[in-house]
């Protein structure tokens, strides 16, 4: 029966990977394999376990107990994401992201490349790589009329956004998962990954700046660039970003789960949003009488724009991986890798349970994240390895999963949304941008291996 659970997971994973070919949204197979996997475990009366990280062994538990445990951990991530998404949508309601346009004062393509790349790198660390990509490509379309020029900039924005999301606990879903799972801390994550992540975009930009598409100047109307900033847009922009950045601080001070801090930040942003919009309704009120007025509430508007398909996908995939972890499959797979994959260094060989872990495994994970979704990959790694908090392995996983997706345009949420917005061809990206992304990924990885020795 354990083999049947694994087969269901593999088939579901394959369906997620081939969603564009099958014309089926990836949330459907994710939810299906979650439900079927747990049903098989229950009906087959399979033994379920909890991994004891300290003793590096499996401890038998009751199915309801382990199910509730994994649901609680998953709910923490989903609640956190819903809060962050709502704050971002509130900022957008006030057109706050138009504030970024004021930073653009140059017509040189090379300087614009650096401006957009650095903006993507730092903005994605705050509001996540997907939103940063959408915002910057939208601004790019305002100031650059030529699509042929824009797609080159979009390609570097994808690399920068994914690199920026890797070193921040709130910059990428996978890094957030590691943070909430208490595998990494904010300070150590930034300390170990900021320079490797920065190098993974600086080197590609340096190379690209010497390429023909980034030579010369562009022409744009500065009045058009300034257009669109609303009365309270700038205030809500800085308030929203500050509120999201406050979450790691709140966790450090209170030692409470991150989603608590995110809910506090959301409440503060929502108060100002309601005041500025002069709405006269309660955000918790849902009735026929308030439906007409709800249109004028920025919070109601923001909540209505939350990407529920993404939330349900995360629910399905995380709980499906939890099923694999509960029957011990990931634990035994980790042992197999440790015994059969050759070592590339001694540092990564030192793990809490005495089980060697290879740099090669993590590098392969990064490459794999360019082909298949990095969320289940990281979820699986959390269940496979029992290294302690802030072990080098977790930092390397965060880097590899975050930046590795840049190697293919379908390898990250940022790439997929850019592909849709600018109709970027898969093979064009493979030929023009992938080499830059690979160089950045490898240089950042080498930098990480070097700096961890000190």
Give the closest residue to 415 by CA, choosing from 89, 129, 120, 21: 129
pLDDT digits 0-9 by tens, 83-115: 988 998 899 888 888 888 777 777 888 999 999
Q: What is the pLDDT of residue 437?
A: 95
Long-range contact list for 218-222, CB < 8 A, 24+ apart?
218/107, 218/109, 218/112, 218/143, 218/144, 218/146, 218/149, 219/107, 220/107, 220/142, 220/143, 220/144, 220/145
CB contact at 8 A, 169 and 189? yes
pLDDT digits 0-9 by tens, 342-379: 543 334 444 434 334 467 888 888 888 887 767 777 88
pLDDT digits 0-9 by tens, 284-326: 554 444 444 445 588 888 888 888 888 898 899 889 888 988 8
| Residues in the chain, pLDDT under 50 | 279-282, 286-294, 343-357
Q: What is the pLDDT of residue 219?
A: 66
* Predicted model pTM: 0.77
What whole-number distance in Å separates Cα of residue 178 and Cα of residue 194? 16
């Amino acid at each position: 029966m354990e083999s049947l659970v694994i087969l269901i997971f593999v088939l579901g994973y394959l369906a997620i990977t081939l969603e564009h070919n099958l014309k089926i949204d990836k949330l459907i197979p994710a939810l299906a394999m979650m439900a079927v996997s747990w049903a098989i475990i229950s009906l087959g009366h399979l033994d379920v376990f909890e991994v004891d990280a300290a003793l590096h062994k499996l401890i038998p538990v009751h199915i309801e107990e382990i199910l509730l445990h994994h649901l609680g951990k998953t709910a923490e991530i989903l609640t956190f994401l819903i809060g962050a998404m709502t704050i971002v949508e509130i900022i957008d309601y006030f057109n706050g992201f138009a504030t970024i346009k004021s930073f653009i004062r140059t017509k040189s393509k090379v300087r614009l490349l650096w401006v957009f790349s650095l903006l993507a790198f730092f903005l994605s660390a705050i509001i996540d790589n997907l939103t940063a990509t959408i915002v910057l490509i939208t601004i790019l379309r305002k100031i650059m009329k030529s699509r042929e020029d824009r797609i080159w900039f979009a390609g570097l924005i994808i690399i920068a956004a994914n690199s920026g999301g890797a070193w921040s606990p709130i910059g990428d879903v996978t890094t957030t998962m590691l943070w909430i799972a208490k595998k990494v801390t904010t300070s150590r994550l930034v300390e170990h990954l900021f320079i490797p992540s920065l190098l993974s975009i600086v080197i590609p930009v340096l190379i690209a700046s010497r390429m023909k598409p980034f030579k010369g100047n562009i022409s744009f109307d500065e009045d058009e660039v300034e257009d669109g900033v609303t009365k309270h847009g700038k205030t809500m922009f800085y308030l929203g970003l500050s509120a999201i950045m406050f979450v790691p601080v709140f966790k450090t001070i209170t030692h409470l789960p991150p989603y608590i801090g995110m809910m506090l930040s959301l409440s503060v942003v929502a108060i100002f949003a309601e005041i500025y919009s002069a709405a006269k309704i309660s955000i918790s009120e849902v009735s026929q009488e308030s439906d007409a007025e709800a249109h004028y509430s920025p919070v109601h508007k923001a909540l209505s724009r939350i990407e529920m398909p993404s939330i349900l996908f995360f629910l399905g995939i995380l709980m499906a991986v939890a099923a694999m972890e509960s029957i011990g499959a990931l634990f035994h797979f980790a042992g197999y890798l440790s015994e059969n994959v050759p070592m590339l260094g001694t540092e990564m060989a030192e793990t809490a349970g005495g089980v060697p872990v290879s740099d090669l495994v993590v590098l392969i994970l990064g490459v794999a994240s360019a082909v298949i979704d990095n969320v289940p990959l990281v979820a699986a790694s959390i269940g496979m390895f029992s290294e302690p908090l802030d072990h080098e392995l977790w930092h390397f996983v965060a880097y590899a999963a975050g930046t590795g997706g840049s190697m293919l345009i379908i390898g990250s949420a940022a790439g997929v949304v850019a592909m849709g917005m600018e109709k970027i061809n898969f093979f064009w990206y493979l030929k023009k941008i992938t080499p830059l992304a690979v160089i950045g990924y490898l240089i950042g990885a080498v930098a990480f291996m070097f700096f961890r020795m000190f």
